[in-house]
Amino acid sequence: MPCDECDTLWRAYENAVFEHVRLCSKLKLALAANSDGGFDDLSFEVSSAENRRAEARTALSRHESAAGHGAASLAAKPTI
Ligand SMILES: [Zn+2]
């Protein structure tokens, strides 16, 4: 990582991605297991996680362009 802040922001982003993916899987499993509905809470969690993921990515991009480094690493990193 180019600097400590990049490192911190990357970890936050990766955690946010992981959490989003985890909640999506949980929602899919819940939907597959039941057809009664009632998944509003879980859907809300998924969209909250999606927002946190987007925010973490924005924070990372903003830091990288402000600091003038790391743009290549973001482009090279596969998006899940
Ligand atoms: Zn940095």
The pLDDT of residue 15 is 98
- pTM, entire model: 0.76
Half-sphere exposure of 67 (CA within 13 A, CB side): 17
Q: What is the pLDDT of residue 76?
A: 57
Domain ranges of the chain: 4-76
Q: Give me the helix-helix angle, 40-67 and 4-33, nearest 10°.
A: 160
Q: What is the pLDDT of residue 37?
A: 65
CA distance 58 to 52: 10
Distance 80 CA to ligand 1 centre (A): 22
Q: Which regions of the chain are under pLDDT 50?
A: 80
pLDDT at res. 34: 76
Cα(6) to centroid(ligand 1), Å: 4
Give the Å distance between the CA of 38 and the centre of ligand 1. Answer: 43
The confidence score (pLDDT) of residue 20 equals: 98
Q: How far is the CA of 75 from the centre of ligand 1 (A)?
A: 15
